[in-house]
Structure 1
Amino acid sequence: MKKNTTRLVAATSAVAAISLLLAGCSNPTSSSSDDADTSAADYWPKATAKLDGVKLTMWVAQVSNKIPVKVVKDFEKATGATVSLQTIPDPYEQNVQTKITTGDAPDLAFWQPTKSMLAGFIAQDKLQKLDNAPWVDNYVDGIADAGGVVDGTRYATLVSTPPVMGVFYNKQVFEKAGITQTPKGWDGYVQAAQKIKDANIPGVESPLFEMGGSQWGTQYSVQIQLAEAAKDGLWDRVNKGEEKFTDSTIQSAVDNYQSLFDKGLYNTNAGSAKDTDESSALFEGKTGMVICVNSLFNQIAALANNDKATLDEKIGYFPLSSEGNIGTSIPEQNNAVLAFKTGDAKKEAAARQFINFWLTEDYENFVKDQGIVSVMKDVKSPENVPQALIDSADAINGSVGSMQSLAIANPDLYINLADMINGTKSAKDVTQATQDQFAQLAKAQGATGF
């Protein structure tokens, strides 16, 4: 079961990233690929070229260490290379950054392909450039732009569809409440929740459900309301200090979220409930809607024994934004792979070859093994993929990046929102605390305007 790794990317990881940034100012890593022509034919070796005797290391998290196992076996068989998968303990992001800072580095690694999480490695010149990759034009619409590119250079390869924040809903609850169309915009979402509440459906304990005890899911209800503003450059303005979390756009989103609790639309134990409680409540029809990402659906799928028919009958998905149905994408560490500079030209080329093999020669085998939606135009998704995941993947086209994707730092918004749910912070306290932390992190990076 995959879990949402975004909750691990908190202030500790941001501080570690800053350490990388500062180290990068004086000690860039020299590599034979520094000035390589990424468009040259030999920069991307043939996927199955022989690599007898070459040994590569790939770092993976505890929640993602099974994902590349079959790809590794297939690559080793096809090329003669050896790829060692090394599980880095949680918190994965913090521990990886610490190891990199002390001079340790793998050939490859799973990593969240967002601007804030790539910044430190880029500043220290630790990453190989992955431009002009032979598979990029084969990505389905929206994937190439969903992550991994910073200032026009690709540093990460997406191997699966990034989650898109949206609403997972219980179809049977909708039917009993007389809701025949999925809501459009925040107001439509609130109206649907109120309709479920007013219907007094037996067994439905609340129209909405929140996991304040697990904390990490609290941010999604706020972030989806910022989609239109993000398309209009919100995070660029925040990055420059021209707009703040305390200004009206983000403050209104937090206020709107708080108002749902005031209206009694959430579960009474919202402050202490866990993500597992949320997935159970939606699957069992005790709640009508939850705003979350794929990781929660994976928990629901486990409750259904991964039976597509059951899941298709019970659970649906639609993207949501303030004014309509724009998706907000939030790539996770298990969605993307980095290739590091090691100073060994042969191993660096082999790392690129492994990625090439994964995304071309072996991709059909990979999606069948994982039972996931394909990100390649010429590879069909397996027939057992639930419709809700297909709909979530489709929402990537036309989506906008999340705070994690577009902001230069990733403050603890989700923790502050959990505090609000539990009554220890007001809505204004949330935005002020988030702004204070963001400004501190941005200033430490040397960003102007702070």
Structure 2
Amino acid sequence: MKFTKRAVALVGAVIMLAPLVACGSSSSSSDSGSATTSIVVWSWDSTVPRTVAGFEKANPNIKVKVTNAGTNKDEYTALNNAMSAGKGAPDIAQIEYYALPEYVIRDNLQNLSSLGASSYKSFYTPGTWSSVNINGGVYALPIDSGPMALFYNKEVFDKAGVTQVPTTWDEFYEAAKKIRATGSYITSDTGDAGFFDSMTWQAGATPFATSKDGKTVTIGLTTDSGVKKWTAFWQKMINEDLIDTKTPGWSDDWNKGLNDGSIASLLTGAWMPYNLLSGAPDGSGKWRVAQMPTWEAGGTENSENGGSSLAIIKSSDDAKVKAAYKFLDYVAHSATGIKTRVDAGAFPADNDTLKSSDFLDATSLTDSNGKANEYFGGQEYNKVLAKAATDVITGYKFLPFEVYARGIFADDAGAAYTDKSITLSQGIAAWQKNLTKYAESQGYTVK
């Protein structure tokens, strides 16, 4: 299931906003005579509404309304507008991991530590737990994850003579040359900021940091060794025409390329299987999943791409906060809530599911007609993805205005993917310059 791929700048995304009382209302139930608390949840994830019936049955005095306020950027814009207006915000909002820090810095989110979430560390995968822990607090609960993996079309690889899946980036480069000789590209990238973050993260980069008081940010893109390592490698791939730099991700042409094999693999999050099933149906039985290539033979380092959480908007109404946390806990922490979402296609963020035999032994996806489809040729694909989740490097930090940062990535670095007179390093340097200028305009001290 797709959760986040393209990020766009928010309107007024980094204005320091005051905490806001959430918009749900409390009412008295005429049937039972007991107080009923109503909460509003903003979520674009289609699996979240599926949990409401089970939750309300177990909690009859809490009513939940799930509203799709738009996917990622659209929801963030609406959320910021509501906060700025001082009314209309939900009680719970779906927020992607990369966007979470900026809401924490603004003091818009409820710290869940005192409600019980501080004891959940061992329940979640390292990458997702690290993402919701900011400045010593727990500000959301993970609802899905996106550990990176290599999804590849085995038929195209075999045709090109790539009989062994690349396990290092050097091997990936050699495979790319063989695949290009057949007329296909090993993968595509037109300048996706989220992909850039994930790939530099996997290379060990830590270019961003924010002080605990939220006043100082570090932007070290031009000096970070991990950023340099990945940028140099990807520049070589661009220079030698080994990746498709003209077909935007998630476009019709991109799905066509995956479907006909002209794009032979993807380096992306573990939520990808059902997107391949729907977007590239002719690839059924041809595709496989493998671990990400690493920089050294035998390496295991990995990163996240996508994934999101549910956070409680700060409120002065204790009853609503408690009700909201009960729903949060049900969706993200209870076995019933998690199973409901995973059965609908979400990739889990919890260790219990990732270790369960039902999950690990799966060899098929369920298509739109309810039929089993062995899209990955009978491979137990979740075993690969579960391993990928355990190998995510923790400690990667996002900017407190990451949504804005990703929104201008293409403006500064995008030309490097199609114009050979501009290098990717130059594009990244321009991005850093503009990020620094923007940060200073918002009152940050920049290191």
After TM superposition, the score normalised by the length of structure 1 is: 0.76
Match of 1:227 in 2: 202
CA contact (8 A) 2:148 2:388 kept: no
Q: What does residue range 34-433 of structure 1 map to in structure 2 within 5 Å?
A: 53-61=36-44, 64=45, 66-80=46-60, 81-89=62-70, 91-104=74-87, 105-114=89-98, 117-131=99-113, 132-133=116-117, 136-137=120-121, 139-160=123-144, 162-198=145-181, 200=182, 205-212=183-190, 216=192, 220=195, 223-230=198-205, 233-236=206-209, 240-241=217-218, 243-245=220-222, 249-267=226-244, 270-275=245-250, 276-294=252-270, 296-303=272-279, 311=284, 313-323=286-296, 324-332=299-307, 335-358=308-331, 359-360=333-334, 362-379=336-353, 380=356, 381-382=358-359, 383=362, 384=364, 387-388=380-381, 390-400=383-393, 405-410=397-402, 411=405, 412-423=408-419, 425-433=422-430
Match of 2:4 in 1: 5
Cα deviation per residue 1:228-268 (whole Å; 9 max; x = unaligned)? 433xx44349985473336665345334323212212134x
Structure 1 CA distance for aligned equivalents of residues 261 and 112 of structure 2: 45
Deviation at 1:18, TM superposition (A): 1.6
Cα deviation per residue 1:339-386 (whole Å; 9 max; x = unaligned)? 122211111101111112222152354145413444334443543456
Structure 1 CA distance for aligned equivalents of residues 352 and 3 of structure 2: 28
Deviation at 1:118, TM superposition (A): 2.6
CA contact (8 A) 1:182 1:318 kept: no
**Residue type matched to 1:18 in 2?**
V
Deviation at 1:178, TM superposition (A): 3.4
Structure 2 CA distance for aligned equivalents of residues 352 and 51 of structure 1: 20
CA contact (8 A) 1:328 1:402 kept: no
Question: Helix, strand or coil: the match of 1:396?
Answer: helix
Cα deviation per residue 1:28-60 (whole Å; 9 max; x = unaligned)? 5589xxxxxxxxxxxxxxxxxx98521110112
Structure 1 CA distance for aligned equivalents of residues 295 and 126 of structure 2: 21
Q: CA 1:413–1:389 in structure 2 vs 1: closer, same or farther (change >3 Å)?
A: farther
After TM superposition, the score normalised by the length of structure 2 is: 0.77
Deviation at 1:329, TM superposition (A): 0.9
Between the two proteins, the alignment pairs up a number of residues equal to 399
User: Structure 2: which 5+ runs fail to align?
Assistant: 23-32, 366-375
Q: CA 1:165–1:422 in structure 2 vs 1: closer, same or farther (change >3 Å)?
A: same
Identity of aligned residues (%): 19
CA contact (8 A) 1:60 1:109 kept: yes
CA contact (8 A) 1:211 1:277 kept: no
Question: Helix, strand or coil: the match of 2:208?
Answer: helix
Question: Helix, strand or coil: the match of 2:415?
Answer: helix
Q: CA 1:245–1:401 in structure 2 vs 1: closer, same or farther (change >3 Å)?
A: farther
Greater share of helix:
1
Q: CA 1:295–1:119 in structure 2 vs 1: closer, same or farther (change >3 Å)?
A: same
Question: Helix, strand or coil: the match of 2:126?
Answer: coil
User: Structure 1: which 5+ runs fail to align?
Assistant: 32-49
Question: Helix, strand or coil: the match of 1:17?
Answer: coil
Structure 1 CA distance for aligned equivalents of residues 3 and 410 of structure 2: 13
Question: Helix, strand or coil: the match of 1:168?
Answer: strand
Q: CA 1:304–1:195 in structure 2 vs 1: closer, same or farther (change >3 Å)?
A: closer
CA contact (8 A) 1:3 1:296 kept: yes
RMSD: 3.5
Cα deviation per residue 1:156-185 (whole Å; 9 max; x = unaligned)? 10122x213343211222233333433233
Q: CA 1:237–1:57 in structure 2 vs 1: closer, same or farther (change >3 Å)?
A: closer
Structure 2 CA distance for aligned equivalents of residues 242 and 60 of structure 1: 31
Structure 2 CA distance for aligned equivalents of residues 391 and 183 of structure 1: 15
Structure 2 CA distance for aligned equivalents of residues 5 and 56 of structure 1: 25
